[in-house]
């Protein structure tokens, strides 16, 4: 497949780096200011080192990518709330041109699911977005395989940063501020970790799951989610939990047509109390009962691998 | 006849009595009247509920039909039945409350939880690291009536809201607590 990759951050760059390994060529690549286009496939090393050294991927303007020859648009620009731009317009353009789309960007799927599906219905192209929930973990593909209508609940941990902070607070008895600063030093938390710790990122993922489960019957957006963050938790609350064999994790619950995110008491060594930056979800479905998926949820290469898995699924 | 309903079971009744002479005896009458077999009485005389009642725990044996009549008879006699049944408080759940617990009157918080009727507090663990002026946290172990977990948690949310406390709930999705 010929890929057009939008976004040259952790995810977009990793897609460019790993594409060849998966048998795909990257024919167009853009960041917020520039683009590189080559119908025969870009040289990954060259374009990535240009981004590193010069801060741009090429000399062309970003819009140039849409005139390139490509089969699949990989959308890895920043997740934005509300209108989900610029991601949404990128997807719109690609679908109008009957291309397939694979999203890492959560915005269009969480905030404008119905619009997205409507555009897809009019296009020859298909939209996939497995990377948006749990990165490399096959959460959406498992729901797809089981059948969304058979799934009664999905719950667990879907944000590695919040989980890291809470597991450190529990292990060291330290307070939130202290551990967050440490996580930023380690590069686990971003300079602005607001969306990770206030529950927004987790909620977006929950909303995406809810949209998939409802299968177009009800559209969910962030506004429909009940969201609480972890900023107010103290080390002593985690101690109290621990004395009782429990711990506190930032949990998303998608069940009964609702999305709820907040700190919850869970068994200390239970299925939804992963350690460090891991994610862990449980999917409750007819016939299979409770399915658990645990592992590294995010990161550039992890998310890129999920993107490339989706690209492969397009050809099925 | 109703042979099938004849199996006798043990039940615990938790009553709250007004602190007046003769109240205990009065509360036992409906039990005898409706064919209950008294097993034991636990009368916590020194212990007065925040609302000024005396809690009494009565263990009896009766058939389910008769037990229903007993509970009805007690209510008709104006006696407060706090808990009635074999497995009334079968669900255990833990919550953590944090905030100005002391200033917002911890004992009133407890009373409010108890007043939800479908739950009773079985254990409290308080952690007040910097004295009572600061934020403190407490873990509450609750026993909730079977099937009432959601209702009890909703009541907890209300109490927390009203007192501006942070509530950490247990994960209960899919019926787990
Ligand atoms: N990182 C993860 O683990 C992970 C996991 C799952 C999903 N995601 C999602 O994947 C997306 C990318 O994540 P990331 O970590 O790679 O983000 P990032 O490091 O912040 O990179 C974002 C990239 O998008 C580019 N960009 C911004 N506006 C653009 C525009 N209008 N046209 C083209 N490119 C534009 C930026 O360009 P400049 O370089 O010029 O600033 C940057 O290269 C996000 O939506 C994120 O939520 C990430």
ipTM above 0.85, yes or no: yes
DSSP assignment of A196-264: HHSSHHHHHHHHHHHHHHHTTSS---GGGEEE--STT--HHHHHHHHTTTEEEEEEEEEETTEEEEEEE
What is the architecture, at CATH level 2, of domain B9-84?
Answer: 2-Layer Sandwich (3.30)
Question: Would you call B124 an interface residue with chain A, using a CB distance cutoff of 8 Å?
Answer: no
Q: Supply B113's token pair.
A: 């939880």
Under-50 pLDDT residues of chain A? none
- Residue B46 clears pLDDT 70, i.e. is over it: no
Q: What CATH number should be reported for the domain whose range is B91-172? A: 3.30.70.260
Question: Would you call B129 an interface residue with chain A, using a CB distance cutoff of 8 Å?
Answer: yes
Question: Quick one: pLDDT at residue A178?
Answer: 94
**Count of CB atoms within 10 A of residue A246's CB?**
25
Q: Three-state SS for A61?
A: coil
Answer yes or no: are the C-beta atoms of A303 and A16 closer than 8 Å: no
Same domain, A119 and A194: no
Answer yes or no: are the C-beta atoms of A253 and A270 closer than 8 Å: no
- Chain A residue with minimal CA distance to B125? A240
Round to whole Å and give the CA distance between B158 and B151.
11
Same domain, A219 and A190: yes
Range of A177's domain?
Answer: 139-296
Question: Quick one: pLDDT at residue B86?
Answer: 59
Round to whole Å and give the CA distance between A144 and A208.
13
How many domains does the structure of chain A reveal?
Answer: 2
Q: A6 in ligand 1 pocket by Cβ < 6 Å? A: yes
Same domain, A38 and A174: no
Q: Give the confidence band of B33 by pLDDT, cuts at 50, 70, 90.
A: very high
Same domain, A80 and A156: no
Q: Where are the domains of chain B?
A: 9-84, 91-172
**Closest partner CB to B139 (pick from A240, A251, A284):** A240
Give the sheet arrangement for strand A2-6, strand by strand: A35-37, A25-30, A2-6, A72-75, A100-103, A127-128
Cα pseudo-dihedral B66, B68, B73, B74, rounded to 10: 120
- Chain A residue with minimal CA distance to B95? A265
More confidently predicted of A22 and B7? A22
Most confident of A104-113, A280-289, B26-35, B101-110: A104-113
**Main-chain dihedrals φ then ψ at residue A210, nearest 5 degrees:** -60, -40
Find the CATH number of the domain harbouring A144: 3.30.360.10
Question: Would you call B171 an interface residue with chain A, using a CB distance cutoff of 8 Å?
Answer: yes
Give how far B42 is from chain A: nearest CA, Å: 29
Same domain, A154 and A115: no
Same domain, A143 and A122: no
Q: Give the confidence band of B172 by pLDDT, cuts at 50, 70, 90.
A: confident
Q: Give the residue, out of A31, A62, A101, A278, with the most ligand 1 atoms within 8 A of its beta carbon, to mutate for a pocket test.
A: A31
Same domain, A130 and A155: no
Q: Do domains B9-84 and B91-172 have the same CATH topology?
A: yes
Q: What is the pLDDT of residues A138-149, one digit of tens each?
A: 999 999 999 999
**Closest partner CB to A266 (pick from B129, B141, B171):** B171
Same domain, A104 and A189: no
Same domain, A74 and A106: yes
Record: contact A152-B135, CB cut-off 8 A: no
Question: Quick one: pLDDT at residue B55?
Answer: 84
Same domain, A100 and A185: no
- What mean pLDDT comes out for the span B82-86? 68
Same domain, A114 and A156: no
């Amino acid at each position: 497949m010929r890929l057009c990759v939008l976004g040259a951050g952790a995810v977009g760059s990793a897609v460019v780096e790993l594409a060849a390994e998966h048998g795909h060529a990257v024919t167009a690549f853009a960041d917020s200011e520039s683009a590189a286009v080559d119908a025969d496939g870009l040289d990954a090393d060259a374009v990535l080192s240009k981004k590193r050294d010069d801060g741009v991927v090429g000399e062309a303007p970003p819009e140039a990518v849409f005139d390139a020859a490509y089969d699949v648009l990989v959308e890895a620009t920043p997740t934005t709330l509300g209108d989900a731009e610029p991601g949404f317009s990128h997807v719109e353009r690609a679908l109008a041109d009957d291309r397939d789309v694979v999203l890492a960007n959560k915005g269009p799927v969480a905030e404008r699911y119905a619009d997205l599906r409507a555009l897809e219905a009019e296009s020859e192209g298909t939209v996939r977005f497995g990377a948006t929930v749990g990165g490399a973990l096959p959460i959406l593909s498992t729901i797809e395989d089981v059948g969304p209508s058979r799934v009664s609940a999905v719950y667990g941990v879907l944000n590695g940063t919040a989980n890291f902070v809470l597991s450190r607070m529990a292990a060291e008895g330290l307070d939130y501020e202290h551990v967050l600063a440490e996580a930023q030093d380690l590069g686990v938390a971003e300079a602005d970790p607001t969306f990770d710790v206030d529950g927004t990122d987790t909620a977006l993922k929950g909303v995406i799951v809810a949209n998939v489960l409802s299968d177009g019957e009800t559209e969910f957006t962030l506004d429909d989610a009940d969201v609480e963050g972890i900023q107010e938790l103290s080390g002593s609350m985690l101690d109290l939990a621990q004395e009782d064999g429990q711990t506190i994790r930032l949990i998303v619950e998608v069940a009964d047509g609702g999305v709820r995110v907040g700190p919850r008491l869970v068994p200390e060594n239970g299925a939804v109390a992963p350690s460090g930056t891991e994610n862990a979800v449980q999917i409750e479905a007819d016939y299979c009962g409770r399915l658990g998926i645990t592992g590294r949820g995010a990161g550039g290469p992890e998310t890129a691998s999920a993107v490339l898995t989706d690209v492969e699924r397009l050809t099925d | 006849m109703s042979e099938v309903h004849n199996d006798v079971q043990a039940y615990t009744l938790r009553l709250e009595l007004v602190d007046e002479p003769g109240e205990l005896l009065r509360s036992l009458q409906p039990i005898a009247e409706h064919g209950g077999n008294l097993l034991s009485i636990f009368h916590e005389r020194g212990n007065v509920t925040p609302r000024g009642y005396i809690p009494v725990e009565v263990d009896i044996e009766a058939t389910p039909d008769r037990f229903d009549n007993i509970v009805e008879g007690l209510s008709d006699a104006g006696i407060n039945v706090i808990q009635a049944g074999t497995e009334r408080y079968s669900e255990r759940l833990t919550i953590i409350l944090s905030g100005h617990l002391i200033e917002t009157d911890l004992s009133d918080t407890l009373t409010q939880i108890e007043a939800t009727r479908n739950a009773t507090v079985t254990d409290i663990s308080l952690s007040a690291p910097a004295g009572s002026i600061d934020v403190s946290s407490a873990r509450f172990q609750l026993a909730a009536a079977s099937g009432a977990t959601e209702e009890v948690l909703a009541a907890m949310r209300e109490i927390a809201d009203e007192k501006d406390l942070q509530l950490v709930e247990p994960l209960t999705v899919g019926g787990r607590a």
